[in-house]
Amino acid sequence: MRYRPLGRTGLTVSELGFGCASWWGKPRFDERTAVGLVHEAIDRGVTLFDTGASYSAGEAEPRLGRALRGGDRSRLVIATKAGTYHAGGGRIARDMSPAAIAASAERSLGNLGLETLGLLQLHGPSVHELDAAMETLAALKARGLVRAVGLNSFDPAVIDHAIGLPGVDVVMVDYNVLRPEREPLIARAAAAGKGVLAGMPLAMGHTRPLVERLRGPQDLWYAARALAKHRGELRRGARFRFLHRLPEVTGSQAALAYVLANPRLSAAVFGATRPEHLRENLAASGLALPSGVLARIHAAQKGVP
């Protein structure tokens, strides 16, 4: 596993991080397998784990806390999010008021069994919410409850605004083969000294046809989410099927190698619920894209069939 600095935070992270979200955190997903994935990731050198207070209807954080219990956590950077919470019945609500953010951070520490959070990110704030939260985030750092602060957002305007805020240490963007348009944003963020994380580096698996992926209950859940929220990605992903027919690497490894080839990125955080996927993905650290593949990715990004 290779490691990179997380911007100017003084923290170093594995260039591949493990996302503790979605199906991974759900009680329907076997706890032993979920915990086993975290342990195996640590054994294979992963030091960055990303979760959120509202992830998996509030179940992901406490599950990650159970997975971390008793082990050596000194090298780990545990990142979580605040500003959204599970409001019951599968509904996610938002509250980015100073009191809610501070209370959320303190609850996260309890859920995760930590004295300090490696990274606290606002979960998809607006520009106004971000501005209003900066003082609270700084106060959490000053109290020693949080090492670094930032946000995740799919809105480039919010990330651009965050780049101009000295108090923001880290930004998480949606960056993958389907999103080359994020590259100038990533370059600006890195030039401003921000740590940059790529969420969804596998484009949620949408470079493969949905039907080929339906093997277990999690696949049905991910497929339902894709049909409800990510039809554009499903359509664009069809141009990248060739990634899954390369002789040298798997499609997921090629997708991760593409993202990690960006030297301005601190880490790519992927989600996986199958141990074989975890192993396959971690083998992408240090992997160069086979010759000619980058040109084919660029052609697909321009819409060339």
By the criterion CB under 6 A, which residues form the site for ligand NAP?
Answer: 19, 21-23, 50, 152, 199-205, 218, 222, 252, 269-274, 277, 280-281
Of 49 and 161, nearer to ligand NAP (C-beta) is 49
Distance CA 68, CA 280 (A): 23
Q: How far is the CB of 224 from ligand NAP (least distance, A)?
A: 12
CA 62 to chain CA mean position, Å: 18
Of 87 and 210, nearer to ligand NAP (C-beta) is 210
Q: Is 35 exposed, middle or buried (0-12, 13-18, 19+ CB in 10 A)?
A: middle
Closest CA to 196 of 150, 241, 245: 150
Q: How far is the CB of 277 from ligand NAP (least distance, A)?
A: 4
DSSP secondary-structure letter at 238?
G
Of 66 and 277, nearer to ligand NAP (C-beta) is 277
Q: Which 3-state string (H, E, C) describes 131-142? A: HHHHHHHHHHHH
Q: How far is the CB of 39 from ligand NAP (least distance, A)?
A: 16
Q: How far is the CB of 218 from ligand NAP (least distance, A)?
A: 5
Of 50 and 61, nearer to ligand NAP (C-beta) is 50
Of 67 and 200, nearer to ligand NAP (C-beta) is 200
Of 6 and 21, nearer to ligand NAP (C-beta) is 21
Tokens of 174: 């949606």
Q: How far is the CB of 54 from ligand NAP (least distance, A)?
A: 11
Q: How far is the CB of 140 from ligand NAP (least distance, A)?
A: 20
Q: Is 263 exposed, middle or buried (0-12, 13-18, 19+ CB in 10 A)?
A: exposed
Distance CA 90, CA 83 (A): 16
Q: What is the largest CA-CA distance in the chain?
A: 54
Distance CA 202, CA 193 (A): 25
Q: Which residue is nearest to ligand NAP (CB)?
A: 19
Q: How far is the CB of 181 from ligand NAP (least distance, A)?
A: 17
Of 227 and 295, nearer to ligand NAP (C-beta) is 227
Residue-by-residue DSSP string for 42-57: HHTT--EEE--TTGGG
